[in-house]
Amino acid sequence: MTDPVFRQLTGSEAPLFRSLPDPGLVGRAITGVEYRTVAEGGDYRPEWSWVALRDGTVVARAAWWGGPDDREPLLLNWFDVAPGEEAAGAELLRRAPWNVEYELIAPAGWREDPALRSAVESRTGAAQAAGMKPLVERFHYRWTADLELPARPGRLEFRPEPDDDVIFDVLRRVHSATLDAHALRAIEKSGLDLAAQEELDFFRWCPSPREWWQLAYDRAGELVGIHVPAHNMSGPCVGYIGVVPEQRGRGYAYDLLVECTNVLVEYGATVIAGATDQGNFPMAAQFARAGYPVAQERINLV
């Protein structure tokens, strides 16, 4: 058996990338997204796409993703290997020049189905062989207009906050007692400031209006937290929900989530995405209470 050749795609080679058979069990394919380059009307760039070829046949492939204005990829979200080619997939990731997070999309309950579990483990196993480590598994939710819209509890007052410095300080307070794995990783790396800045950068990256960001206050005028209704590149989403530590234990995350949902619906949303770490049991409970069904699970490696 000949050694594989690893290389970046050229602009006309999208059909080569698509030539690896894909049963569509896991990955972006289950969201209805096909690999298409920007020139084809998709959101992948050939220069951010790599293949491993053995005797001219694709045996592993990887595509990194970023927003239309990003100069470097933000995420690896398309990675798969032919049966028995996990080593080639691992080497492909080692040779590619980007060291960003890998997000694998899987159906809810994937561990209970042997075919799904095998598809997940072949990809995550190759990624770990390349040096990546599991960070977190997350629930992804999808509220649709045919579901009941949760009623506002009416306990809080919501106000826009135009000062980014104020928002930054609130994010620092929220993250001082966070359960979020990405925030904890940022805190471990460089402290609360990095965790808050990463959230703020995400809010700014989203194409939704800045004036949608709101702080919440109780009837005594004390700060409760923040919610950010947003649009990411896929559509309307719950951008962020955070309660400051001294206000926790009162169920306010539900109030924030309900307000966020209602605001997005008022702006015309008929589908709203949301997500939380599987280990963040309090937030997962609030999504369930607000009527958000789990649509997918996602596995994040760094």
End-to-end CA distance of the chain: 32
Instruction: Quickly name the fold that domain 157-301 has.
Output: Aminopeptidase (3.40.630)
Task: Please state, rounded to an integer, the average pLDDT across all residues of the chain.
Answer: 97
Fold agreement between 5-132 and 157-301: yes
pLDDT > 90? residue 136? yes
The model's pTM is: 0.95
pLDDT in tens, 145-180: 999 999 999 999 999 999 999 999 999 999 999 999
**Residue 134 to residues 66, 159, 217, 299, 300: CA-CA distances in angstroms?**
21, 38, 37, 8, 6
Q: What is the pLDDT of residue 91?
A: 98
Contact 193, 173 (CB under 8 A): no
Could you state, in order of their start, the residue ranges of all structural domains in the chain?
5-132, 157-301
pLDDT in tens, 229-261: 999 999 999 999 999 999 999 999 999 999 999
pLDDT > 90? residue 228? yes
pLDDT > 90? residue 100? yes
pLDDT in tens, 8-65: 999 899 999 999 999 999 999 999 999 999 999 999 999 999 999 999 999 999 999 9
pLDDT > 90? residue 268? yes
Q: What percent of the chain has pLDDT over 70?
A: 100
Q: Please say whether the structural domain 5-132 has been given the CATH code 3.40.630.
A: yes
267-278: average pLDDT? 98
Burial of 10 (0-12, 13-18, 19+ CB in 10 A): exposed
- β 294-301/134-144 pair status: antiparallel
Q: What is the pLDDT of residue 67?
A: 94
Q: What is the pLDDT of residue 1?
A: 78
Q: What is the pLDDT of residue 213?
A: 98
Contact 143, 149 (CB under 8 A): no
